[in-house]
Amino acid sequence: MSEHHYCEVADLAEARSELDEIRHHLHKHPELSYEEADTSRFVADKLESWGYDVTRRVGGHGVVAALKAGTSTRTVGVRADMDALPIQELTGLDYASIHAGKMHACGHDGHTTVLLGAARQLAKTRNFDGTVHLIFQPAEEAGSDSGAQRMIADGLFERFPCEAIFGLHNHPGVPIGTFGFRAGPLMAACDTVKLRVHGKGGHAARPHLAVDPVLVGSSIVMALQSVVSRNVDPNEAAVVTVGAFRSGHAPNVIPEDAVLELSVRSFSPEVRATLEARIRALVQAQAQSYGATVDIEFIRGYPVLINSEAETEFARQVAEELVGPEHVIAPFPPIAGSEDFAYYLQQRPGCFVRLGNGEGRPMLHNARYDFNDENLTIGAAFWTRLVERFLSKERA
Ligand SMILES: [Zn+2]
Ligand SMILES: [Zn+2]
């Protein structure tokens, strides 16, 4: 049997100070969705300096870097997200954001640096046979018309073939350097519903001459509680939350209308369709029964993120080899958050991986959150080894 060396975490040790520097630079200069011009240029310049064939402006500020080694026609894609959030940072770090009201509070600075670390290592060792496409994606936080959708629409997979695609997200609350894997649905579909109930305003003392939108709205809120409890299979998970209900200004006035805003989450396309159908029917019926009318705006967010079986098992094996089974959680519990990596997984098999950001630390989208730099070399070694194993010289 031939002895084949795949990347170990220790191989990245000499890169650690450079990766810290890159991550802190990105953290200090966050850019919101669709505005990642400087981040994109910084990333592309680094990749070019390491010998990559770099394509800029893919689906907006997206960057794709290609590296070919050997003669195989095999391909693989790895993706990192680059955008920040509209949050005023409260970490007090010496590399805290210098852009008021903007912050890397979801760790995309870390994800980008981890993939850059792998890029640097792969270019140095070229210990694979095939083509790797490193995908640096903008606008993950957009909620709709996101970076993944725009890069795919810009011909991502036709221009940069990927037999499979992989991505990762840090996960506060799980120990640093611990990887999480789940085949099948990992993250929820997240839809938003906006309702405007049109009643008939009037005097509080003469309610029989008005149509009270507060009462209609209240009735809608109560009726919606039956969707998850009575229409969804108890073995499936779903959420219908009324997060906003606005109407009226004075105790002696029946208002003209009421606005309700819902967050709707599900883990399968079938449940997602059921939720939409039931919400529409219940809302219409409630309004009608009071003589009111209602506008329903159902805004589809990211779909359910579904990891493919074989690629998830493959990625799990890579992590187990790298950090040992004691630092791997499989199956990882489903997450009610959503993620636009789901769109890539509708096109190609692959796996979205969770990587522990440490216990007892601020959660994602929190003003005191920070990506854990201990994960830079661990994550970079993981991507390097995953590419080396996927495009293994021995498999060719
Ligand atoms: Zn986020
Ligand atoms: Zn994120």
pLDDT tens, position by position, 216-255: 999 999 999 999 999 999 999 999 999 999 999 999 999 9
What is each CA distance from 320 to 172, 173, 176, 208, 219, in whole angstroms? 20, 20, 15, 69, 52
Q: Which ligand is nearest to the CA of 142?
A: 1
Are the CB atoms for 42 and 26 separated by under 8 Å?
A: yes
Q: Is the pLDDT of residue 3 over 80?
A: no
Q: Look at residue 396 in the predicted model and tell me its pLDDT.
A: 46
Q: How far is the CA of 47 from the centre of ligand 1 (A)?
A: 25
Q: Which ligand is nearest to the CA of 341?
A: 2
Q: How far is the CA of 136 from the centre of ligand 1 (A)?
A: 16
What is each CA distance from 252 to 201, 204, 206, 249, 255, in whole angstroms? 11, 5, 10, 9, 9
Q: Look at residue 312 in the predicted model and tell me its pLDDT.
A: 98
Strand ranges (DSSP E) for 42-178? Answer: 53-58, 62-69, 75-81, 130-137, 165-171
Q: Which ligand is nearest to the CA of 352?
A: 2
Q: Look at residue 393 in the predicted model and tell me its pLDDT.
A: 79
Report domain 9-186+304-395's class. Answer: alpha beta
Q: How far is the CA of 337 from the centre of ligand 1 (A)?
A: 9
Which tokens in the block code for residue 394?
């021995």
- Spell out the residues 6+ positions from residue 140 whose beta carbon is closer than 8 angstroms to its own: 33, 81, 82, 83, 106, 108, 146, 147, 148, 339, 340, 341
β 62-69/130-137 pair status: antiparallel
pLDDT-derived band at 395 (thresholds 50, 70, 90) equals: low
Q: How far is the CA of 159 from the centre of ligand 2 (A)?
A: 26
Q: Look at residue 1 in the predicted model and tell me its pLDDT.
A: 39
Q: Is the pLDDT of residue 49 over 90?
A: yes
Which tokens in the block code for residue 85?
């959030």
Q: How far apart are CA 385 and CA 169, in angstroms?
A: 17
Q: How far is the CA of 366 from the centre of ligand 1 (A)?
A: 10
DSSP SS3 for 263: strand
Q: Which ligand is nearest to the CA of 109?
A: 2
Domain boundaries, the chain: 9-186+304-395, 189-299
Q: Which ligand is nearest to the CA of 355?
A: 2
Q: How far is the CA of 232 from the centre of ligand 2 (A)?
A: 28
* Whole-number average pLDDT of the chain: 96
Q: Look at residue 281 in the predicted model and tell me its pLDDT.
A: 98
pLDDT-derived band at 83 (thresholds 50, 70, 90) equals: very high
% of the chain surpassing 70 pLDDT: 98
Q: What is the CA radius of gyration of the chain?
A: 24
For 192-202, the pLDDT digits (tens) are 999 999 999 99
For 311-321, the pLDDT digits (tens) are 999 999 999 99
HSE of 31, CA atoms in CB hemisphere, 13 A: 18
- Architecture per CATH, domain 189-299, reads as 2-Layer Sandwich (3.30)
Q: Look at residue 321 in the predicted model and tell me its pLDDT.
A: 98
Classify the phi-psi angles of 177: left when phi > 0, otherwise alpha if psi is within -120 to 50, otherwise beta.
left
Q: How far apart are CA 319 and CA 181, in angstroms?
A: 10
Q: How far is the CA of 85 from the centre of ligand 2 (A)?
A: 9
Q: Is the pLDDT of residue 94 over 70?
A: yes
Q: Is the pLDDT of residue 282 over 80?
A: yes
pLDDT-derived band at 2 (thresholds 50, 70, 90) equals: very low
Are the CB atoms for 160 and 104 separated by under 8 Å?
A: no
Q: How far is the CA of 230 from the centre of ligand 2 (A)?
A: 33
Q: Is the pLDDT of residue 143 over 60?
A: yes
